[in-house]
Amino acid sequence: MTHQMFSPTEMGELTIPNRIFMAPLTRNRANPDGTPKPLAATYYAQRASAGLIVSEATQISPLGKGYIDTPGIYTDAQVEAWKPITSAVHANGGRIFCQLWHVGRISHTSLLPDGQAPVSSSNRRARSKTFTSNGFEDTSKPRALEGDEIAALIEDYGHAARSAIAAGFDGVEIHSANGYLLDQFLQDGANDRTDAYGGSIDNRMRLTLEVCDRVIAEIGAGRVGIRLSPRGQANDITDSDPHGLFSALYKALDTRGLAYLHVVESFGTAGDEKGEALIRTLRSDWTGFYIANGEYDAERSAEAIRSGHADAVSVGKAFIANPDLPERFRTGAALNPQDKDTFYGGGAEGYTDYPFATLGRGDAVAKAA
C-alpha cells in the first residue's frame, strides 16, 4: 500500500512524484492589498515534498474577497509577489497550482471596495460567519448578480488563470466547493434565479461549466483542476437533489479533459452513511484523475489509493503542522501537534516554525527559499 502512495504518475500535463497532496489552506497572512508576504515562500517551499501543493484560496477580483488578509491573483503587484513563492517551491522539487476563488455571499461589506454588498446567485443571506478585522462576524446580505455582470465575472476567471501562469504556477484549481460563489449557483438552497443560470440542473451548472471552459481556453485543460463538495455542509449550502446535480456535473466535467477532479468528501461529518454513499455512487461518473479530501490519515490514504477509489489524496491541517508530511506517512514517524490558535493570521509562529522529522531539513529548505 505504501508503495502506491509514493509511486509517480501522470496528472494532466504534470508528472507527480507521490499521491499525497497539500490541500488549499487559508492562513490569513497576506498584505491588505492581496499581495502574499515574503514569508510565504518559506512556508510553501517547506511543503514542496507534496505530490502537488494547491495554494491557499486566492481571490480573482476585489469583489471575490471574503476574509481579511487573503491573497489575490488579479493585479500586476500580486503576480510579482507570487513569483518568488512559486520559484521557491520549484527550487525544492515541488509543483503548485493556484486555487482560484470568489467567495460570493460569504463576505462582509467591510472587506469589499467602497463597502459594497457581496454578490451571489440570489439575495439570500448565508447563515455563516467570515473573518474580518473584528474577528469572526456574520456575513453581510448579498445582492444577486445581474445577467450582464456574469460575462465579466467569467472573464475575471480567465484573467486570473493567465495571471497565475505568469506568476509561475503550474496550473490552477477552480474553487467550486464549500458554499462559495460557484457553489451558490450550483445548489438550489442558495440559487432561486429564474434566468438561464437558475432553475433546472442544467441552468445551475451553467456558470461553473462556462468558467471551466474559459479557463481551459486560457491555459489548456491539462493545467486545470476543479474542486467540488457534493455533500454541502459548509457555509449554509444545500441542494434538494445532490445526486442528480453532481452526477450531471461530474459527467459534464468528465468530457473536458481536466487535469483532475478534487472532491471534499467529508467536512467533519464522519458516520453520515447517506453522505458517504453519495460520494461512492458519484465516483463512477468521473473517469479522470480523482483527488479525495477529508479526514485522510496515512492508513486511509493508502487504502483509498490501493482500492482505486482515489488517484491521490489531499491533506489539510496535518500539512500545517508537518511540512514533511509525505515522509512521515512513508516512515510512520509521529506527527507534530497542531497549534490551532495560529491557524489564521499572525507571522512565523505556527506557520514556518514546525519541525521536520529529519533534523536540519527545515533549515536547508528555508535557505533555498
Q: φ and ψ at 57, to 5 degrees?
A: -55, 135
Q: Which residues contact 142 (CB under 8 A, 6 or more apart)?
A: 104, 105, 107, 117, 118, 119, 120, 122, 123, 124, 125, 126
Measured from the Cβ of residue 4, the count of other Cβ atoms closer than 10 Å reads 16
Q: φ and ψ at 213, to 5 degrees?
A: -65, -35
Whether residue 180 lies in the annotated active site: yes
135-138 vs 129-132, strand pairing mode: antiparallel
Compute the distance between CA of residue 120 and CA of residue 102 in angstroms, rounded to an integer. 10
Q: Whose CA is closest to 29, among 81, 83, 76? A: 81
Q: φ and ψ at 219, to 5 degrees?
A: -130, 0
Measured from the Cβ of residue 367, the count of other Cβ atoms closer than 10 Å reads 9
In this structure, are residues 258 and 220 in contact, taking their beta carbons and an 8 Å threshold?
no
Task: Cell numbers for 218, please give them.
Answer: 486560457
| Catalytic hit among 44, 74, 180, 354 | 180
Strands (DSSP E) contained in the chain are 9-11, 14-16, 20-22, 53-54, 58-59, 96-101, 119-120, 129-132, 135-138, 143-144, 171-175, 224-228, 260-264, 290-293, 312-315
In this structure, are residues 102 and 64 in contact, taking their beta carbons and an 8 Å threshold?
yes
| Virtual torsion, Cα 325, 250, 177, 73, nearest 10 deg | 80
Measured from the Cβ of residue 239, the count of other Cβ atoms closer than 10 Å reads 21
CA angle 334, 49, 300 (to 5 degrees): 50
Active site residues: 180
